[in-house]
């Protein structure tokens, strides 16, 4: 198999995508246009798709194959990490098919089965099917029920055609709704057939956390409460809610970012070494972190949880509206657009080490990072001046937009006097490998085709994360006055600064 770059070559070492048809529910929507179809196109360019493969779009919109292919090209031209290659486009276009149908209509699923069988004959594909549910959570249970009733779900069995289902977040809006969705999935699919997707886990830097920790002898001995002072995880968004106001009004920052993305970053940072890279072994260790998270209850709100909503302000010199002035937002909305938390992991490795999480919209820049700050050196030798202590060593995983890692160390400034200055050892994917990293959805789609669930959420982990988050949601419901505000274009409310400053620490400047 030929590949276009070393990053793609690395994927072929572990993945063996099997011939299949990818059925995208909600194929006329934004996710398919911006992420899924460009991801499949880039996999074509890298030569990573199986020889026998097709995509069947399924949505309410009245498209035909030609219109779907035209929309796919527009999406690739606008959002792909690589431009359209006229020589390769026909190869990709031939894979694309479309069926108009409704996810709540049993007759549409009879047509879906018939169309799938036609496509499989045309492309010589065995009846291996991957169903991608890019639909609202309220539709999931009914769609799964119709898939099963139409005979489109094959039970898992060795050497038999497979049926797999990909479910987009949010998996519910609290613990009980997550359980209902998981129960509905379990009525038709075995747990090993269900792939709950969190695209953050497909990002190169996120995957590299485990390599950095367990593939280098110098870090893991220091990765514990003896040497780590604290950890900061930041997910900052420059944009407001935009066209997602209706969804965001129901979700808020805690549900939208903390429950899935940020807790997964925390788990990868804090988990114990897995004894193998088997999917369930790795996921067991991530689950163990969630089970050790100390609950944040109503009595902990003042010291451990801040929520806020952006008011009008300026971003990059342009005036922007406040959240309550956005289209689709209630004028008296109590939805948080910013969250700061202080979390504790009550296990042997991390006892006493705070994990500070913050996420918000309309912040000064778009950036996601994990910063592990090590403890100060003793106040002797080069650190004797308490009024000007040495900067601490910090290891940073930059997840977006400038993917890479850096390590801050102290060094001597050249000259006769002993002057110490902090410097940064910096690794950037783009400068080292000379190419753009694959998008997260490229890796994750390949994993599903290969049946590798390592980077996906298991049911017990989804429910464990919701259990922790739901406790905070309930505490906030009983304390409506806890919603602060902050001006757009700033780094959040004063209350978030007070939260971390109470521990004689401060947020990093990004």
**Burial (CB count <10 Å: 0-12, 13-18, 19+), residue 67:** middle
Catalytic residue at 261? Answer: yes
Return the CA Rg of the chain. 24
**Burial (CB count <10 Å: 0-12, 13-18, 19+), residue 222:** middle
Treating both helix axes as pointing N-terminal to C-terminal, what angle do 459-477 and 279-292 enclose, rounded to 10 degrees?
Answer: 20
Spatial CA neighbour of 261 closest among 284, 236, 297: 236
Strands 318-320 and 313-315: antiparallel
Please state the φ and ψ torsions of residue 157, each to the nearest 5 degrees: -155, 140
Q: How far apart are CA 142 and CA 138, in angstroms?
A: 8
Angle at 73 between CA 72 and CA 76, to 5 degrees: 85
Please state the φ and ψ torsions of residue 234, each to the nearest 5 degrees: -125, 130
Strands 420-428 and 483-487: unpaired
Q: In the numeric block, which tokens belong to residue 58? A: 């399924």
Alpha helices in 384-477 (DSSP H): 429-433, 440-450, 459-477
Among candidate residues 97, 146, 173, 261, the one labeled active-site is 261
Q: In the numeric block, which tokens belong to residue 2? A: 């030929």
Spatial CA neighbour of 328 closest among 271, 243, 266, 386: 243
Strands 20-25 and 96-100: unpaired
Residue 365 has, within 13 A of its CA and on its CB side, a CA count of 9
Active site members = 261
């Amino acid at each position: 198999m030929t590949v276009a770059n070393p990053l793609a070559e690395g994927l072929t070492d572990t993945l063996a995508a099997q011939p299949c048809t990818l059925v995208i529910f909600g194929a006329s929507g934004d996710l398919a246009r911006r992420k899924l179809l460009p991801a499949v196109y880039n996999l074509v360019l890298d030569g990573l798709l199986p020889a026998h493969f097709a995509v069947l779009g399924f949505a309410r919109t009245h498209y035909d194959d030609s219109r779907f292919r035209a929309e796919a090209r527009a999406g690739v031209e606008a959002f792909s990490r690589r431009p359209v290659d006229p020589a390769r486009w026909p190869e990709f276009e031939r894979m694309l098919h479309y069926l108009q149908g409704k996810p709540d209509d049993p007759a549409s699923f009879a047509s879906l089965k018939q169309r799938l069988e036609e496509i499989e004959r045309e492309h010589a594909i065995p009846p291996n099917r991957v169903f991608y549910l890019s639909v609202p959570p309220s539709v999931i249970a009914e769609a799964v029920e119709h898939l099963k009733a139409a005979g489109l779900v094959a039970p898992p069995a060795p050497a038999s055609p497979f049926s797999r289902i990909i479910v987009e977040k949010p998996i519910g809006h609290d613990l009980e709704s997550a359980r209902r969705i998981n129960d509905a999935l379990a009525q038709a699919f075995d747990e090993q057939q269900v792939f709950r997707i969190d695209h953050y886990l497909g990002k190169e830097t996120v995957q590299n956390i485990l390599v950095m920790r367990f593939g280098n002898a110098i870090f893991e001995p220091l990765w514990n409460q003896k040497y780590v002072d604290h950890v900061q995880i930041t997910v900052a968004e420059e944009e407001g809610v935009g066209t997602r106001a209706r969804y965001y009004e129901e979700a808020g920052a805690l549900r939208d970012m903390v429950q899935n993305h940020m807790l997964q970053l925390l788990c990868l940072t804090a988990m114990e070494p897995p004894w193998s890279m088997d999917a369930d072994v790795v996921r067991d260790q991530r689950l163990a972190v969630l089970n050790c998270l100390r609950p944040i209850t109503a009595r902990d709100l003042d010291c451990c949880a801040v929520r806020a909503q952006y008011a009008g302000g300026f971003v990059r010199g342009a005036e922007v509206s406040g959240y309550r002035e956005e289209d689709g937002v209630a004028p008296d909305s109590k939805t948080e657009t910013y969250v700061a938390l202080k979390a504790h992991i009550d296990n042997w490795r991390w006892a006493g080490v705070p994990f500070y999480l913050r996420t918000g919209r309309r912040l000064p820049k778009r950036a996601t990072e994990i910063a592990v700050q090590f403890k100060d050196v003793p106040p002797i030798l080069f650190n004797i001046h308490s009024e000007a202590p040495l900067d601490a060593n910090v290891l940073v995983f930059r997840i977006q937009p400038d993917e890479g890692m850096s390590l801050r160390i102290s060094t001597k400034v050249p000259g006769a006097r002993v002057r110490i200055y902090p410097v940064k050892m910096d690794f950037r994917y783009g400068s080292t490998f000379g190419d753009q990293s694959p998008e997260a959805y490229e890796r994750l789609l390949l994993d599903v085709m290969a049946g590798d669930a390592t980077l996906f959420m298991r049911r017990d982990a989804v429910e464990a994360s919701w259990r922790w988050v739901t406790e905070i949601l309930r505490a906030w419901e009983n304390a409506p006055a806890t919603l602060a505000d902050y001006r757009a274009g700033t780094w959040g409310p004063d209350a978030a600064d007070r939260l971390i400053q109470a521990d004689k620490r401060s947020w990093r400047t990004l």
